[in-house]
A and B are shown apart, each in its own frame.
Chain A
Amino acid sequence: MNPELGQIAIALAFCLTILTAWFGLAGAAQRRARWMEAVDGLSLGVFLLTGFAFLVLVTAFLGDDFTVRYVADNSNSALPWYYKVSAVWGAHEGSFLLWVWIMAGWTLAVALRSRDLPDTFRARVLGVMGLLNTGFVAFLLFTSNPFQRLVPMTPSDGADLNPLLQDFGLIVHPPMLYMGYVGFSVSFAFALAALLSGRMDSAWARWSRPWSNVAWAFLTLGIALGSWWAYYELGWGGWWFWDPVENASFMPWLAGTALIHSLAVTEKRGTFKAWTLLLAITTFSLSLLGAFIVRSGVLTSVHAFAVDPTRGMFILAFLVVVVGGSLALYASRASIIASRVRYSLLSREAFLLVNNILFVVAMAFVLLGTLYPLAYEAVTGGDKISVGVPYFNAGFVPLMLLVALALGVVPALQWKRTPPERVWHHLRLMALASLVLGVGIPLVVFDALPWQALAGLTLAVWVLVTHVVDLVARARLGLGRVPVAYWGMWLGHIGFVVTVFGIALTAVLSVEKDLRMAPGQTESVAGLTITFDGIIGREGPNFVADRGLFVVEEQGRRYTLHPEKRRYAARDMVMTEAAIDAGFLRDVYVSLGEPVGDGAWAVRLQVKPFVRWIWFGAIFMMVGGVIAIADRRYKRLRAAAPAAVAGARA
């Protein structure tokens, strides 16, 4: 297909997004039913047009159309077809086209699934989303055209996709991440619509909750996939680096975690209303900030895209408009919100507030560490600094431990107030049990563990025990009567501690050896013996590799691992391909460094206990987030919803 068709589709989509915004917002303000109805068709149009543009780009990649500059930069005729498809979002322009398409998809989904909302509210939500997409499409059209041609200097073959990206991870990680980033635009749009219409009761929270949870679930999965990808593909066994771009995706997650909890309080108790609105604005603003960090190249990072000042300026301007505009609206309206609900310190409300404070503080902490180098450079006139990993760990670990501490109390709490004696009576045995299990056993089994690990284990046991006991107590009254939403919360919380458990144990029990190994040499690591049997050559579709033979003997089991050192011809780039024997309880991880003479190689041997639990936990959290909104009450979101909320508040 002709690439210009894609560009025309984007230009048309731009016009339609402007109309969506206008008909939605102006239609709601002037109560013009025809205008508000038009928004549905316009949203569908934007979705189809951007989808068509995306398809055109995919076709250009599959057909090796190197007259298109973006294809020539990021593909090669020798690339396997599935990487040609994923190369579409392997660099800036195409990934932003994906972003825009996903934005259009969320808008269409809201249009289709919100027919029961009041017309003006619905039109405002779609209008705000149209307005956001106007900015995104303009960015694509005016600074990042993926369909730009290279004529007449067309190359005979493409420069190839960066070998690091030639992996399953690229196929799944960015789409999931963008689903999350962009999904929070729905929460944002609901919050703005609530502010615009002055309907800041609990109804908007109830309507917004399913969308926010789904966006959060996608973001959780996207971040976990990114971490897992970095773990096996970068070749050295780290799973989180506090890299600016990782932080860029993590900050919306932290704010989003606070948001989905705060929404629950607002929906059920009618309180935290102003705070929830602010969180919805903050979360999406952080998504935009992330886009700015990744796409402007202002920070040195693992995945920064090409540096182009106009792009950075555009996103920065957009960010200022969105954040400034929404905060101004918030400031002018939020003061009329009145909360009449009282609650004591020992109540679910209070502990959800604790959750919110801890997650927002954690977010602010990560934000400070991420942006500090920028501020420092600006203030000192060019001095470059970097903020070290110890900074992030020093603050983040204690904060998450506090989260776990509070989390264990939650099942014992009721709304409004809980008698202190009841809480104490309910929890004292479990607290003791967690201390014994979490501190006692590790101290007997292992020599000395750092306090963070002991605290992490104890608190993981603490949350696990309190949640299991609570579930059993509820199940006794009839398993069928346990609400679906409860299962969602339960799974999400268990997921959180599974991740904590994995992090604590991996951090302290991992064994890592960097060595020089000659052929025939045997080394022992954490009770395993690993023998280096030499190197053989291997030819892949678009690379040549030195393939190592490592025989591992582990408790009577014997297997061979094949780490590789690959040289990709098109970019003349060397890549480490680690070999991993993945397991539920531990990973054995072997990577090849470089040849160091006499047939010997620099080698890294690692045994990483429980590392997979970090990502298992994330999957639990994601599933929990989705289940929590599968509750029947969200399927009955009729216009009668406000009445139901008033009932719930009584």
Chain B
Amino acid sequence: MNATRRNRLLAVSFLVLGAAVTAAFVLKALNENINLFYPPDQVVDGSAPVDTRIRAGGMVETGSVLRTGGDLTVHFTLTDHAGSAFDVTYQGILPDLFREGQGILVAGKLGADGVFAADEVLAKHDENYMPPELAKLKGMPGTAPQGGMNTERSIIDPAGADAVRGNAVLEGGGR
């Protein structure tokens, strides 16, 4: 085998090996880091896995937000306004647009006791924006698509809460 061929063979085997290792590594990393989303009814009926990192979402139930003790622990309840609700605990700073009655996303682990321990709370940064994950839930205000009467109403009354508008921003309160 002459030098050129040997080099070429070396280069090709190196490439193939590299590609295989990379592919295996990538699939593993991807597999370990996908977080499934569950709406409240699936968290309550047990379809959501326990002690696995997942994302869940719902509306913050009015009157459920409770800060306890001297640290930043906060408890609140997420509901779909259709009979399913679950409790969330979170330690840290809540995002600016976390409000009672608003749709939010939480990421973390569901405990065996049915309480969701969140390590991340995401609220929408535009008062009219709905995270796509939540848009399909029933009973959510603000799910109307853009256009038609909704948009026009929101402009006559800027505080109107029915339009999906530009620049929607998800804001994380935690990290």
Residues of A within 8 A of B (CB): 69, 72-74, 90-92, 150, 153, 155, 157-160, 162, 164-165, 234-236, 238, 297, 300-308, 342, 344-345, 357, 361, 365, 368-369, 372, 376, 382-391, 394-395, 514-516, 565, 570-576, 591, 593-594, 596-597, 602, 604
Among A72, A164, A305, A593, which residue has its beta carbon within 8 angstroms of that of B166?
A305
A593 and B32 alpha carbons, distance in the complex (Å): 32
Given contacts A516-B70, A602-B72, A602-B93, contact A386 B34 (CB under 8 A): yes
B167 touches which one: A303, A342, A385 (CB < 8 A)? Answer: A303
* Most central of A238, A306, A372 by chain B CB within 10 Å: A306
Q: How far is the CB of B72 from chain A (nearest CB, A)?
A: 5
Assuming the A-B contacts A395-B25, A516-B71, are A570 and B94 also in contact, with contact meaning beta carbons closer than 8 angstroms in the complex?
A: no
**What mask results when residues 140 to 158 of chain B are scored 1 for a CB within 8 Å of chain A, else 0?**
0000011100001011101
- Name A69's closest neighbour in chain B (CB-CB): B155
| Contact in complex: B158, A90 (CB < 8 Å) | no
Given contacts A153-B155, A159-B154, A570-B158, contact A73 B165 (CB under 8 A): yes
Q: Name the contact of B158 in the complex, choosing from A92, A159, A301, A345 (C-beta under 8 A).
A: A159
Residues in chain B near residue A158, CB distance under 8 A = 158
B166–A91 touching, CB < 8 Å: yes
User: In the complex, which of the residues B33, B132, B165, B170 has the most CB atoms of chain A within 10 Å of its own CB atom?
Assistant: B33
B17 at the interface (CB under 8 A from A): no
A597 to B133, CA, bound (A): 33
Interchain CB contact (< 8 A) of B26 among A162, A376, A395, A565: A395
Q: Which residues of A contact B32 (CB under 8 A)?
A: 390-391
A398 to chain B, nearest CB (A): 9
Contacts of A357 in B (CB 8 A): 15, 18
A269 to B173, CA, bound (A): 52
Q: In the bound complex, what is the Cα–Cα distance between A604 and B91 (angstroms)? A: 12
Q: Is the CB of B166 within 8 A of A73?
A: yes
CB atoms of A165 and B156 under 8 A apart: no
Give 23 CB contacts A-B under 8 Å.
A73-B155, A90-B167, A91-B167, A155-B158, A162-B166, A162-B167, A236-B173, A236-B174, A300-B132, A305-B166, A368-B30, A388-B35, A391-B34, A394-B29, A394-B33, A395-B29, A514-B93, A571-B126, A573-B125, A574-B97, A593-B93, A594-B94, A604-B93
**Chain B interface (Cβ within 8 Å of chain A)?**
4, 7, 10-11, 15, 18, 22, 25-26, 29-30, 32-37, 53, 55, 67, 70-72, 91-94, 96-97, 107, 125-127, 131-133, 136, 145-147, 152, 154-156, 158-159, 164-175
Q: How far is the CA of A160 from the CA of B158 in the complex (A)?
A: 9
From known contacts A307-B164, A368-B30, A594-B94, infer whether A162 and B169 are also in contact, taking CB-CB under 8 Å.
Answer: yes
Which residues of chain A come closer than 8 Å to B132, judged between CB atoms?
297, 300, 307, 384
B35 touches A307 (CB 8 A): no
For A238, the closest partner residue in chain B by CB is B175
Which of B70, B72, B92, B169 is the one whose CB lies under 8 Å from A302? B169
Residue of A nearest to B170 (CB): A302
Q: Which chain B positions have C-beta within 8 A of A565?
A: 96
- Interchain CB contact under 8 A, A573 and B97: yes
- In angstroms, Cα B174 to Cα A501, docked, is 25
Report the Cα distance A79→B155, complex, angstroms.
Answer: 17
B-side contacts of A591, CB under 8 Å: 93
Question: In this complex, what residue of B is CB-closest to A574?
Answer: B96
Chain A residues contacting B133 (CB-CB under 8 Å) are: 300, 384
Q: From residue A517, how far is it (CB to closest CB) to chain B in Å?
A: 10
Contact B30 A372, beta carbon cutoff 8 Å = yes
Q: Are B34 and A572 in contact (CB under 8 A)?
A: no
Which single residue of chain A is at the shortest CB-CB distance from B4?
A342
A200 to nearest B CB, angstroms? 23
Q: Give Cα distance in the complex from A160 to B11, angstroms.
A: 58
The reply to whether B175 and A387 form a contact with Cβ atoms under 8 Å apart is: no
By beta carbon, the residue of chain B nearest A518 is: B70
Contact B152 A153 (CB under 8 A): yes
Cα(A116)–Cα(B105), bound, Å: 57
Cβ contacts under 8 Å, B34 to chain A: 372, 376, 385-388, 391
